[in-house]
Chains A and B, each alone.
Chain A
Amino acid sequence: MAGFLLAALVAVLGAAVPAHADGAMSGADVTVAQSLGDRELTVVLRRVASLPGPLHVDVLAHAGSPAGTLRLGALPSAAGAPSSASLTLPGTPGPVPAVLRVDSAGPWELTIDDGQRLARIPFVVHAQSMSPAERWVYGGFVAAGLSLAAALVVALAARSGWWTALPGAGVVAGVAVAVTAALLSASQPLPPAPGEDLDATVVNAADPYAGMPRGAAFSRPPVTLTVQRQPVVAGAPATVRLRVTDAATGLPADDLVVHDGGLMHLMVVSPSDRLWHLHPIRTAPGSYEVTFTPDAAGTYAVTAEVARRGGGVQMLRAAGGFTATGRTQDRKAEPLTVRSTGTIDGVGVQVAMADPVAGTPVTLRARIGDEADLQPWLGMLGHLIVAGPTPEGDPVWLHAHAMDDATAMHDMEGMDGMAAMVPMPGVLGATLPDETVAAYGPAVGFTVTFPLPGRYRIWLQAEKDYRIITVPITADVRPAPEAAPGLPQIGRVTPERARTGTRDVTVTLTGRDGRPATAPQIQVQAVLPTMGHASPVITGIPRGRGRYAVPGVPLMAAGGWQLRVTAPGSEPLTIPLTVTD
């Protein structure tokens, strides 16, 4: 028994990593955006609670999606029986439920058939599984129960009472093992998630702890995006077919995982500077297609964001994009400038951004409509797509996500008197409700850094009334003033561990010569690399001996943050900062 206890302690303490709270192991809900024909759908696969059991699917149609019937199917990739259901979209936005049936753990596909095309969404059905720690807990308590029963019998039957010591010790040991394992069970690391880190199989979906590889690297080679050559005519619906292949073997890459609420986020920019943010359907392994109506003849730029199983989002650019023939578009949509107001799809929009300088973070703040009725889209309040500098063939593409309202509101220049904000958790790391909750905004903010000078095209996207509002903006980015690069400095932050929230920190800078920094002020930005998030710039105030007080650093989520520190006359510094809940 004592040996068991020791073994349990060693096994569990050996790899103490904070618990993952997203619960992907027990199967969280999966939300996938799908551009199916002329419908923009959000498909939500609810967690499968028991096997065999129902798979609840909600299909939410955006405004403008026509009414009609969709045929849904749950198709096992390895083992199980297929099931199907149909649902009728009423033609008005909102979710429509359907129930399918799944009967075994493993990789599955959800098929959505609109009569003309078939979208195949891969998903994993997880069986209930128990961590080794929990097995120790139950085992310990059961051993204690058995020993207790035995001890009672021995106490009443044995000639000598000391015989009871044997099962009695068993009770104590069993309880000790169980309590120890129970206390450690919450901090036990999760095994690699089938479907996310590893290819899902019938075996690992049933028990992810079975044959769990230790210390394995999950990362895979990059993928290549190609656009199938086919005639595209402006003004008529066109189907664009895309192939995703492994950059090492050339085989179809069929391991894209859902990230930011989609399997693939496709950005298409027309010669008239219009942006489509689409979610191509998967029609076969490695094959995707999307239908849209090009508005002008000319060359379309195509980029896609995907995440491959094993981790890491990548941005793919289809070299050359594709070309549409037909009529040319004379009138380009007039984009907003960085400080202007306009009306997009009948919604009043205000935009404010300081004059951008290459290499310097700048915050773009916008106000969409007058009420707090924006809906989270793809898990975010807003998306900012940036392409530029335009005359040079758009070498830079960016995709930033909105910060929370509080940050967006922070000293919003020239835009006082905003409507009262609904309190909301920080967008980062917090669980935003789904897009049926229209309670956010109207202010959204993004902080981006334009790496090169020149003219950039920017599209800001947010959802309102189940409609995606796309705000085109142009920005001219000035070159950074020539400055002799200084020597790097040594930077420290105190505290080195902070709790989530808006925190005051102190940054201490020392030159390579050992002397404290003397800059009159420093610029600090909080960056959460895993989320691709950068905060607005905060000015640090000198406190003597190289110390700078940095007030109000927005650390909204737990994780490994970075402080990007810029001091005049020296190279920028990156100081890591651990943030815990």
Chain B
Amino acid sequence: MPRPSAGVLGAAAVLLGTGTSLAGIVWDVQWHVDVGPDTFFTLSHLMLYSGSAIAGLAALAMVLRATFAQRAGRTADPAEGGRTVRVLKFDAPLGYLIAGAGAAMFLLYGLMDLWWHTVYGFDADLGSPPHVALFSSITVTMVGSVIVFGYARDRRWGRIGLVVSLPILMTFSPLMLNALAELPAPFDIEIVSAAFFCTLSMLLAAGITGRPAYAIRVAAVLGAMQLALWFFAPWASHSYASMVNLPLRDGLGDAPPELPSATPMFLLVAAAVGAGVLAYGRRAGMSMRLLPQLAGAVGGLVLAFSLDLQVPLVGNGPLAAPGTLVADALAGLLFGALAGFLAWRFAGLLRGESRKPIAIVVPGPAVQGGLA
């Protein structure tokens, strides 16, 4: 068995960090729901903070590796953190630079969070400014991880990493998007923003790899992750509560686990529809300037509508009023189209072909147009 390259190790370490952060936050949110405010630094907080520390250290190591190589006169492998950007004296791998900056930001915002809790108490809202800053910082690290794998799309590990790092980002996204919930909008902003973000993420996978099927793979991994976290969250919070001898809250019903129940359950449907539109549109010879928006619109519509259905299905509340359902679906359609547009632009950036629309590979007669 060949020795794994430093590129794999660095990318895997950042992914481990973001995965740790995700598990930590899922556990922590459930802990606050099931047990109550923290009276000490909990293990879930430690996991959350350690995740950023792991990702940050790994990113730092990879940036150092790149700059050491340049000092020695070598050029870095573009698959190791990808395209480099000139910062100060050296070219730094973009993905690791972003991941590292996000991790450093997260650890620093911990201080702001501490101050906020001292002033406003331990029951502060999930959407408090330092929380939004912390969640955004984690998101930045997760985006860095996606960029790292996106640049390594030619390697098998790069594509595997992509279909894992994107679902991590998607599972985490409701926390960050929660900050938008207070904005006035004629539709359910949390549902539509989740539809937008998930459409963007799965089409990004299709765009980066040039294969629509990757949207489906991302959705499948997300589903598996949701299932695992569904059981992990209550188990972790209950067993930790019994370990440190704290009682569960009175009157805990059979509410579904907080964060996993916010993950779209019907993403596979949306992904299949979106990927289908991409594949068949391409085969039918449609322009790639329009196709991503179309796929995004259809995916966004399915997602917004299915997320509305998911609320009563998991027992999080009643079905929204018909007017809201229509508004959500329409907004999902529009924001889905925007997500499709952006996904293709972002994918183009990662592929270094921002000027030219990305072609896609579909099985069948149209294969020759592909970019395998």
B227 interface hit (Cβ, 8 Å): no
Q: Mask for A130-153, Cβ within 8 A of B = 1, else 0?
A: 110110011001101110110111
State whether A431 and B122 are in contact (beta carbons under 8 Å apart), knowing that A138-B114, A148-B107, A179-B46 are contacts in the complex: no
Contact assessment for A156 and B114 in the assembled complex, using a CB-CB cutoff below 8 Å: no
State whether A171 and B56 are in contact (beta carbons under 8 Å apart), knowing that A51-B121, A161-B71, A179-B50 are contacts in the complex: yes
In the complex, chain B residues whose CB is within 8 Å of the CB of A185: 40-41
Shortest B294–chain A CB gap in Å is 41
A172 interface hit (Cβ, 8 Å): yes
Contact assessment for B60 and A155 in the assembled complex, using a CB-CB cutoff below 8 Å: yes
* Total A-B Cβ pairs within 8 A: 138
A26 interface hit (Cβ, 8 Å): yes
B183 interface hit (Cβ, 8 Å): no
Q: Which of A312-343 contact B (CB under 8 A)?
A: none
Number of contact residues on B: which range applies? 35 or more
Cross-chain contact of B88 among A156, A175, A188 (Cβ < 8 A): A156
- Complex: how many Å from CA A50 to CA B119? 8
A238 interface hit (Cβ, 8 Å): no
- Complex: how many Å from CA A130 to CA B111? 13
B247 interface hit (Cβ, 8 Å): yes
B250 interface hit (Cβ, 8 Å): yes
In the complex, chain B residues whose CB is within 8 Å of the CB of A188: 40
Stretch at the interface among A17-25, A68-76, A251-259: A17-25
Contact assessment for A19 and B244 in the assembled complex, using a CB-CB cutoff below 8 Å: yes
From DSSP, what is the main secondary structure of chain B's interface residues?
helix
In the complex, chain A residues whose CB is within 8 Å of the CB of B90: 155-157
Q: Mask for B18-44, Cβ within 8 A of A = 1, else 0?
A: 000000000000000000010111110
B74 interface hit (Cβ, 8 Å): no
Stretch at the interface among B96-104, B205-213, B303-311: B96-104
In the complex, chain B residues whose CB is within 8 Å of the CB of A134: 40-41
- Complex: how many Å from CA A170 to CA B120? 31
Contact assessment for B71 and A171 in the assembled complex, using a CB-CB cutoff below 8 Å: no
In the complex, chain A residues whose CB is within 8 Å of the CB of B247: 21, 431
Shortest B276–chain A CB gap in Å is 43
Q: Name A558's closest neighbour in chain B (CB-CB).
A: B245
In the complex, chain B residues whose CB is within 8 Å of the CB of A433: 250
Contact assessment for B63 and A178 in the assembled complex, using a CB-CB cutoff below 8 Å: no
State whether A151 and B118 are in contact (beta carbons under 8 Å apart), knowing that A50-B123, A157-B88, A179-B50 are contacts in the complex: no
A49 interface hit (Cβ, 8 Å): yes
A186 interface hit (Cβ, 8 Å): yes
State whether A155 and B53 are in contact (beta carbons under 8 Å apart), knowing that A141-B107, A185-B41 are contacts in the complex: no
In the complex, chain B residues whose CB is within 8 Å of the CB of A128: 117-118, 121-122
Q: Which of B233-279 contact A (CB under 8 A)?
A: 242, 244-247, 250
B45 interface hit (Cβ, 8 Å): yes
B106 interface hit (Cβ, 8 Å): yes
In the complex, chain B residues whose CB is within 8 Å of the CB of A161: 64, 67-68, 71
* Closest A-B pairs by Cβ, 9 of them: A145-B107, A50-B121, A149-B104, A148-B104, A145-B108, A157-B88, A185-B41, A182-B46, A21-B245
Cβ contacts A to B, 30 pairs, < 8 Å: A19-B40, A19-B245, A21-B247, A23-B246, A50-B120, A50-B121, A128-B117, A130-B118, A133-B40, A134-B40, A138-B110, A141-B53, A144-B53, A145-B103, A145-B106, A145-B107, A148-B103, A151-B60, A152-B59, A153-B88, A155-B63, A156-B63, A157-B90, A161-B71, A171-B53, A175-B53, A179-B46, A182-B43, A182-B49, A183-B46
Known: A50-B120, A145-B107; 6 extra A-B contacts, CB below 8 A, are A23-B39, A50-B124, A145-B110, A148-B104, A149-B104, A155-B64
